[in-house]
Amino acid sequence: MEFIDGLGLVAGICTSSAVIPQLVTTIKKKKASEVSMTMFIVLLTGNALWVYYGFDKKDIPIISTNLFTICLNIAMLFLKFKYKDNK
Amino acid sequence: MEFIDGLGLVAGICTSSAVIPQLVTTIKKKKASEVSMTMFIVLLTGNALWVYYGFDKKDIPIISTNLFTICLNIAMLFLKFKYKDNK
């Protein structure tokens, strides 16, 4: 793997795993009324398109990191729904 | 511009502009204690690395969308700081 591909992976790990601290915060507070659901729906749409883009460009960092983010964003939407009655 | 580059731009617009609904939610509620600051710091780091990656790969969608996201993430961090005393 070339340096730039490694850097792409690190970049992808950052932008993908960024949702993890939000998941932790939401699980701790058991509420997410201040967190925008639209944000995560738009993110999911974008991630799905990036995966398509990555396949076309045969760009492994783009594919793998966006697939990972899709899982995290779905988890966040699940928590947002779970705690929807907690204000 | 080829189809796939256009699709990359749309993907980038989605993942970049996803922060906008969060900014709107935060401005409306005037609080963001449930929004993770770590999330936006990690995102900023990732976006900066993606810009570097994009320049190396001469990939315009990656460069432009990540520069745009950097601005939005900085705005979100500013709001988080501004409303830090609102619980």
Q: pLDDT, tens digit, for every residue of B20-65?
A: 999 999 999 999 999 999 999 999 999 999 999 999 999 887 898 8
Tell if the CB–CB gap between B36 and A21 is shorter than 8 Å: yes
Q: Give A59's DSSP letter.
A: -
Among chain A residues, the shortest Cα distance to B58 is held by A4
Q: pLDDT, tens digit, for every residue of A71-86?
A: 999 999 999 999 988 8
**Residue bearing tokens 């796939």:** B4
Residue A62 lies in a domain: yes
Given a cut of 80, whether residue A45 has pLDDT beyond it is yes
The pLDDT value recorded for residue A70 is 95
- Residue-range definition of the domain harbouring residue B22: 3-82
Q: Quick one: which of B40, B39, B67 has its CA closest to B51?
A: B67
Residue A72 lies in a domain: yes
A65 vs B77: which has the higher pLDDT = B77
Q: Quick one: which of A22, A25, A73 has its CA closest to A47?
A: A73
The pLDDT value recorded for residue B1 is 78
Q: Which residue out of A35, A52, A69, A73 would a mutagenesis test of the B interface target, given it has the greatest number of B Cβ atoms within 10 Å?
A: A35
Residue B78 lies in a domain: yes
Distance from the Cα of B52 to chain A's closest Cα (Å) equals 9
Tell if the CB–CB gap between B18 and A57 is shorter than 8 Å: no
Predicted ipTM > 0.95? no
Interface of A with B (CB under 8 A): 4, 7-8, 10-22, 24-26, 29, 31-36, 38-40, 42-43, 45-47, 49-50, 52-53, 56-57, 61
The pLDDT value recorded for residue A58 is 92
Using a CB-CB cut-off of 8 Å, the residues of chain B touching A28 are none
Helix (H, G, I), strand (E, B) or coil at A23: helix
Inter-helix orientation angle A37-57/A60-82, to 10°: 160
CATH number for the domain that contains residue A8: 1.20.1280.290
- Side chain identity at residue A51, one-letter code: V
Using a CB-CB cut-off of 8 Å, the residues of chain A touching B29 are 33-34
Give Dmax (Cα) for chain A.
48
Q: Please give the tally of structural domains in chain A.
A: 1
Residue A14 lies in a domain: yes
The pLDDT value recorded for residue A56 is 95
Neighbours of B20 (CB within 10 A): 16
Please compute the mean of the pLDDT values over residues A7-14 and round it to a whole number.
Answer: 88
Residue A52 lies in a domain: yes
The pLDDT value recorded for residue B45 is 96
Burial A2-16 (b: 16+ CB within 10 A, else e): eeeeebbbbbbbbbb
Query: Tokens representing B60?
Result: 């315009």
Using a CB-CB cut-off of 8 Å, the residues of chain B touching A61 are 53
Residue B39 lies in a domain: yes
Size of interface A-B (CB pairs under 8 A): 121
Question: Lowest mean pLDDT: which of A19-28, A57-66, B34-43?
Answer: A57-66
Residue A26 lies in a domain: yes
Given a cut of 90, whether residue A62 has pLDDT beyond it is no
The pLDDT value recorded for residue A72 is 95
